[in-house]
Amino acid sequence: MGSRIRSVVGSSEGVPRPQQDSPDPAAPQEEAATSAPESTGNAKKPLSGPAALKRQGPKGTQGFVTYADEPLNGNVPTGDPLTAWSRRKLDYKLVSPLNRRKFKVIVVGTGLAGAGCAAALGELGYNVVSYTFHDAARRAHSVAAQGGINSARAKKVDNDSLERFVKDTVKGGDFRAREADCFRLGEESVRVIDHMDAIGAPFAREYGGELRTRSFGGVQVSRTYYTRGQTGQQLQVAAARALQRQVGLGTVDLRTHREVLDLVVDDGRAKGVVVRDLYTGEIEAETAHAVVLCTGGYGNVYFRSTLAHNSNVTAAWRAHRRGAYFASPSYIQFHPTALPVSSHWQSKTTLMSESLRNDGRIWVPKAPGDDRPANQIPEEERDYYLERKYPSYGNLSPRDISSRAAREQIEAGHGVGPLRNSVYLDFRDAIGRLGKKTIEERYGNLFEMYFDATGEDPYTEPMRIAPGAHFAMGGLWSDYDMMTSIEGLFVGGEAGWGYHGANRLGANSLLSACVDGWFTLPYSVPNFLANHLGEAPLPADHPAVERTVAEVRERTDRLLSIGGTKGADHFHRALGDVLYSGCGVARTEAGLKNALKEIRALREEFWRDLRIPGSGRELNQELERAGRIADYLEMAELMCLDALDRDESCGAHFREEHQTPDGEALRDDDDWCFVSAWEHTPGKGAHPGKPVRHAEPLDFQAVPLQTRNYA
């Protein structure tokens, strides 16, 4: 399709958007005008069209969210999803090489998605301005992904294929992702591996020279390519080199130590960003023909997460406040292979790669409260619970299932370690079978990292692991072309939502970032630009630019002027405690309502008692943190509202009210086979107004709806 179909079908002007604070979710709510039908249990047919909006939300959320009347259109090509991407690319409009230098594109973030997008657009001949708050592009958080990157190249004779990749991805996401997006992910995965290999990623190889693979959670084939336990780091180095090449050629203007604090929107289109120079404190605006956000996920909202402490949601959240819908914010993955919290002062958790579960066996003592050292517990007194409950997948069961199983064991009294908050990951059998040298070749740097963090030798005693907040499956809603509900604003990588549904399979994270950056956005962004040839970016003195800059300055001054007694980290830590308790591995209606109440109280305290030393005219990391935590305090409420509204269990969103007799997630496809995309509305004081829920129905043609079964 040459000209883009608008993402929103119909007008949303009829949706009521009251400008008052959300009511206390713990208080009794009046019955909504439109009553919702009762849940009918597991469904056997998907929703389509307006049927997806018959459910106006459960009683628990009536009164403090509102619902759009028309379904969202994801702009997905009709017909066979297997050929959707090739047909869409053929229909895209093109920009001739001589006209490309007339366009400017802002790309925010320099991880695998951002670096790839900026480098690709630069090499095509567009003028690109690339922003990162790091001191160098290669420091982006993509370096932290360790285990590998998936690809449906089917180089092993294990019956893998593109169709099997899509089936695993859709099923792993518990049927809450776009099927057509998953086909694009699998199709382009072949090019990703060849491309990253060509630009310098040192993938592991077999003796004969073929690239080596291993398995990851939720699959029964070997499709994960890796560079020991440093895959993200090596891919990021290769992508950063490609980006720096374009910087040297003059097509990309890389601006470091700049934090994007707002989006310039004029006439319904994204036309620039407002940034703060983190060295000088200067606030400046940059305008362009299009903006691409590749700013990563928001798992750090939990305070203790596997993400770097500076990872944040600010750029995406500020875009949400300007009108970009936020999809499925409650879909948070808790990685089952994180190191356990060892003390209250600990500021984050450490990720141990899922690749360790290829050879490590997970177990707990059969007897609750058994405090003997692991090596003194005999084999017959060990419970290899994943192998027992899910024999077909065993220790490589999907992350959401593995994390819930670990939580069940810990809460039942089988936890190990000083705080009894972890389970064992044991390499005794693998070392005995393969030898220490082989295990060292596969995981040596990970074992060294574990020893540095704990002082324990994993070659001689089991690792201790526990679920930790990790990956955000939710993100800014975008259509099939990666464009958000704001025209001209695109999203890529973990900042988006489309591929992973309610649970991401291991090693699909690096893949989705590379597919978006190198092989999707460089097609879809020019399709948008082709309709705006001859237009100039907004001038610096345009009212929309000046107004946005003034609002950023006003918000900064407001933060600095509070003059309270508590630092920003105090509020972040308290927020994390609330979320782990109320919106963690498992959720309940009562727990979510209590979390909402506590979040609103904490936000009021933040704006009343925050203390920021220094000024805004200098390097001020406390000011940076305060701004990010202010956004988290708003976003946390939307996460809990989304979790409360979605009255089913699916993937990592596990509502204890909705589970099978075996304790597995119980989906409700009759009422909830759609993606929730939330629209921001202003409120009063410290609180946002009632969010508006839009819904995009999901359709599954190649992978029919079915109950997940990993037994």
Residue 20 has pLDDT above 70, yes or no: no
Contacts of 637 (CB under 8 A, 6+ apart): 22, 596, 599, 600, 603, 688
Taken in order 366, 370, 374, 380, the sign of the CA dihedral is negative
Residue 234 has pLDDT above 70, yes or no: yes
pLDDT at residue 393 in the model: 96
What is the C-alpha separation between 319 and 602, in angstroms, rounded? 23
Q: How confident is the model at residue 19 (pLDDT cuts 50, 70, 90)?
A: very low
Structure confidence by residue, pLDDT tens digits, 318-355? 999 999 999 999 999 999 999 999 888 888 999 999 99
Say whether 158 sits in a helix, a strand or coil. Answer: coil
Amino acid at 399: R
Residue 51 has pLDDT above 80, yes or no: no
pLDDT at residue 53 in the model: 52
pLDDT at residue 159 in the model: 94
Q: How confident is the model at residue 42 (pLDDT cuts 50, 70, 90)?
A: very low
Q: Which of 51, 212, 107, 98 shows the shortest CA–CA distance to 673?
A: 51
pLDDT at residue 156 in the model: 87
pLDDT at residue 154 in the model: 79
Residue 23 has pLDDT above 60, yes or no: no
- Hey, how many other C-beta atoms are within 10 angstroms of the C-beta on 89? 14
pLDDT at residue 17 in the model: 31
Residue 658 has pLDDT above 80, yes or no: yes
Amino acid at 39: S
pLDDT at residue 343 in the model: 85
pLDDT at residue 619 in the model: 96
Share of the chain above pLDDT 90, in %: 87
Structure confidence by residue, pLDDT tens digits, 671-686? 999 999 999 999 988 8
Task: Kindly state the average pLDDT of the residues 605-613.
Answer: 98
Q: Which of 39, 60, 121 shows the shortest CA–CA distance to 291?
A: 121
CATH code of the domain made up of 81-331+473-530: 3.50.50.60
Residue 221 has pLDDT above 70, yes or no: yes
Residue 45 has pLDDT above 60, yes or no: no
Share of the chain above pLDDT 70, in %: 92
The pTM for the full model equals 0.92
Residue 636 has pLDDT above 60, yes or no: yes
Q: Which helix (H) or strand (E) holds 362?
A: strand 361-365
Q: Which of 453, 448, 440 shows the shortest CA–CA distance to 339?
A: 453
Residue ranges of the domains in the chain? 81-331+473-530, 336-470
Q: Which of 229, 222, 181 shows the shortest CA–CA distance to 504?
A: 181
Are 81-331+473-530 and 336-470 equal in CATH topology?
no
Residue 363 has pLDDT above 90, yes or no: yes
| DSSP-derived secondary structure for 577-607 | HHHHHHSSSSB-HHHHHHHHHHHHHHHHHHH
What is the C-alpha separation between 128 and 200, in angstroms, rounded? 23
Asked if residues 304 and 564 have their Cβ atoms less than 8 Å apart, the reply is no
What is the CATH T-level fold of the domain 336-470, as seen in this structure?
Flavocytochrome C3; Chain A, domain 1 (3.90.700)
Catalytic residues: 399
pLDDT at residue 304 in the model: 95
Asked if residues 128 and 122 have their Cβ atoms less than 8 Å apart, the reply is yes
Asked if residues 671 and 619 have their Cβ atoms less than 8 Å apart, the reply is no
Task: Kindly state the average pLDDT of the residues 631-648.
Answer: 97
Supply 370's token pair: 């058994």
Residue 651 has pLDDT above 70, yes or no: yes
- How many residues appear in the chain? 711
What is the C-alpha separation between 701 and 77, in angstroms, rounded? 13
Q: How confident is the model at residue 32 (pLDDT cuts 50, 70, 90)?
A: very low
Q: CA 149 → CA 304, 463, 508, 554, distances in Å? A: 25, 24, 6, 43
pLDDT at residue 4 in the model: 34
Q: How confident is the model at residue 8 (pLDDT cuts 50, 70, 90)?
A: very low
Supply 590's token pair: 């009562």
Q: How confident is the model at residue 2 (pLDDT cuts 50, 70, 90)?
A: very low
pLDDT at residue 36 in the model: 32
Q: What angle do CA 285, 291, 293 make, to 5 degrees?
A: 105
Residue 632 has pLDDT above 90, yes or no: yes
Q: What is the mean pLDDT of the chain?
A: 92
Asked if residues 678 and 695 have their Cβ atoms less than 8 Å apart, the reply is no
